Amino acid sequence: MIKNKNNSSRDGAEACLKAIRKMEYMSELPDSDFEGERVRMVSTLTTAAGPLTPYLAGFIATLAEYIDLNLGSNPKAGNWRPEAVMTSEEIETRRALTKALF
């Protein structure tokens, strides 16, 4: 969980979620160029992240490859709303609802 979340951190989370959804869409298109697809997936996520240090570029590129690797076996992110994009109030509300349901 991100401590001291603010609008900027939520903006970054929204940009990441948008990139993940774009990656999902790309993975559904017929493409026999698996290496090219992987390059496009990595580029989508690293570009969405903005200017990166070499360390963070490697970190995010690895995360992008992992997402690409797992896209076919996991639920889609279309309706997913990660806590990183929520306000503190939204998180509290969702957690209370989850606790009440389970």
* Whole-number average pLDDT of the chain: 82
- State the Cα–Cα distance between residues 26 and 40, nearest whole angstrom: 9
Q: Are 23 and 67 in contact (CB under 8 A)?
A: yes
- State the Cα–Cα distance between residues 39 and 86, nearest whole angstrom: 30
pLDDT level of residue 5 (50, 70, 90 thresholds) = low
Give pLDDT tens digits for 66-99: 888 777 666 666 667 777 778 889 888 988 988 8
Tell if the pTM clears 0.85, that is, is over it.
no
- State the Cα–Cα distance between residues 27 and 33, nearest whole angstrom: 11
Domain residue extents for the chain: 7-101
Does 8 or 48 have the greater pLDDT score? 48
- State the Cα–Cα distance between residues 34 and 87, nearest whole angstrom: 38
